Amino acid sequence: MAVGAQYLHVVAPFYAAIGVIFELYFAGQGAKRILWPMTASVVRCLFALAAMVLVLQGYVSLHTAFVLVAVSVVVAATISLLGFLRTRWDR
Domain boundaries of the chain, sorted by first residue: 2-86
Which tens digit of pLDDT belongs to each residue from 17-65?
A: 999 999 999 988 888 888 999 999 999 999 999 999 999 999 999 999 9
Please say if the pLDDT value at position 14 is more than 90.
yes
What's the pLDDT band for 88 if we cut at 50, 70, 90?
Answer: confident
Write out the DSSP string of the chain.
Answer: -HHHHHHHHHHGGGHHHHHHHHHHHHHHHHHT--HHHHHHHHHHHHHHHHHHHHHHTTSS-HHHHHHHHHHHHHHHHHHHHHHHHH-----
Determine the pLDDT at residue 77.
95
Please say if the pLDDT value at position 91 is more than 70.
no
What's the pLDDT band for 89 if we cut at 50, 70, 90?
Answer: confident
